[in-house]
């Protein structure tokens, strides 16, 4: 198999840097295809960890200065690992995060870190949307994507058709009816976010259970990754105990 620079239409992508490479090898060694390194990497702490993790799944480590430089977008990247893109069905009885019209690669990566931090591990991405396997997103995620179930949907209807009847939908809007801190979330639920420039479309404005994050009118909106972080934090801290003790995925 020969590898080329990242292309959103190809079936593989790259982790850039030691941290996301380690997360890949720890959580989804089945996806790792080949590890490309620069000579400098062999002197780092990260190398020892990567070498050990690569043994069992037998992933080849290949020194290739030119290739690492070519696939990495930032300087000082010493390791880039090719991995198979993946999609998986979402769990029908677990809680979901739903992103509609997600536009920014960095924000999407940051959102996946929020999800892993607060134990919601099913991500529905409704198109149009940025590519979650873009190496820039994988980098911003710090490898968190390898701990998630991720599925793309063509439109909102395709997503809602995939759900069981007992699911509760909670759309987030700046004009939402209830304050986030007052909501009693009922499992299984889906937290639904639009993007920060246009929010959620009209199909959600008249839904029940719309939620707003209280904020001053001095800003148009919060950054979308911040909004999702606040929502996930509130869901878990509202249970009156330290989530670290009860998160199913800790």
Q: Which of 52, 73, 181, 187 binds a second copy (CB under 8 A)?
A: 181
Cβ closer to a second copy: 162 or 238?
Answer: 238
Return the DSSP state at 200.
Answer: S
Binding residues for a second copy restricted to 76-95, rule: CB under 8 A: none
Out of 116, 126, 169, 200, the only residue in the binding site for a second copy (CB under 8 A) is 116
Whether the bond into 206 is cis, omega within 30 of 0: no
Cβ at position 173, least distance to a second copy in Å: 15
Task: Answer yes or no whether residue 49 interacts with a second copy by CB under 8 A.
Answer: no
CA distances from 27 to 77, 133, 144, 145, 147 (A): 21, 16, 9, 10, 6
Of 1-9, 67-75, 105-113, 125-133, which part binds a second copy (CB under 8 A)? 105-113
Cα dihedral 38→53→243→170 (10° resolution): 70
Within 10 A of 18 (CB to CB), how many other CB atoms are there? Answer: 21
Give the whole-angstrom CA distance, residue 132 versus residue 206: 30
Among 106, 152, 160, 205, binds a second copy (CB under 8 A): 106
CB under 8 A: which stretch of 2-10, 31-39, 142-150, 155-163 binds a second copy? 142-150
Tell me if 20 contacts a second copy by CB under 8 A: no
# of chain residues touching a second copy (CB under 8 A): 40
Helices vs strands, H then E, count in the chain: 7, 11
Comparing C-alpha atoms, which of 9, 35, 6, 3 is closest to residue 20? 35
Give the separation between CA 194 and CA 226, rounded to whole angstroms: 13
Q: Which of 6, 118, 172, 185 binds a second copy (CB under 8 A)?
A: 118
Give how far the C-alpha of residue 210 lies from the chain's centroid of Cα atoms, to the nearest Å.
23
Choose the binding region for a second copy from 29-37, 73-81, 117-125, 160-168 (rule: CB under 8 A). 117-125
Q: Shortest distance, CB of residue 247 to a second copy, whole angstroms?
A: 5
CB of 218 to a second copy, least distance (A): 5
What minimum distance in Å lies between the beta carbon of 121 and a second copy?
9
Task: Spell out where the chain has E strands.
Answer: 12-16, 32-37, 60-63, 79-84, 96-100, 122-126, 149-153, 168-171, 178-179, 189-193, 211-212
User: Which one of 32, 108, 180, 211 is in contact with a second copy (CB under 8 A)?
Assistant: 180
Q: Which stretch binds a second copy (CB under 8 A): 32-40, 63-71, 73-81, 179-187?
A: 179-187
Residues that bind a second copy (CB under 8 A): 19, 106, 110, 113-114, 116-119, 142, 144, 147, 179-181, 213-220, 222-223, 225-227, 229-230, 233-234, 236-237, 242-244, 247, 249-250
């Amino acid at each position: 198999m020969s590898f080329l620079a990242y292309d959103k239409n190809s079936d593989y992508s790259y982790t850039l840097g030691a941290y996301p490479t380690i997360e890949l090898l720890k959580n989804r060694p089945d996806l790792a295809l080949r590890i490309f390194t620069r000579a400098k990497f062999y002197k780092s702490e990260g190398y020892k960890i990567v070498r050990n993790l690569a043994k069992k799944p037998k992933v080849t480590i290949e020194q290739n200065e030119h290739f690492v430089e070519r696939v990495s977008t930032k300087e000082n990247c010493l390791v880039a690992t090719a991995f198979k893109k993946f999609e998986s069905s979402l769990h029908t009885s677990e809680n979901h995060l739903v992103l509609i019209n997600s536009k920014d690669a960095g924000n999407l990566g940051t959102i996946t870190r929020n999800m892993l931090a607060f134990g919601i591990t099913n991500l529905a991405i409704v198109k149009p949307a940025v590519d979650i396997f873009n190496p820039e997103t994988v980098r911003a995620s710090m490898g968190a994507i390898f701990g998630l179930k991720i599925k793309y949907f063509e439109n909102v209807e395709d997503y809602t058709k995939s759900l069981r009847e007992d699911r509760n939908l909670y759309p987030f809007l700046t004009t939402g009816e209830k304050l986030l801190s007052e909501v009693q979330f009922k499992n299984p639920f889906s937290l639904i976010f639009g993007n920060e420039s246009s929010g959620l479309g009209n199909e959600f404005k008249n839904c029940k259970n719309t939620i707003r994050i209280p904020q001053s009118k001095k800003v148009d909106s919060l950054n979308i990754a911040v909004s999702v972080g606040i929502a996930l934090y509130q869901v878990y801290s509202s249970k009156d105990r330290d989530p670290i003790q009860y998160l199913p995925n800790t």
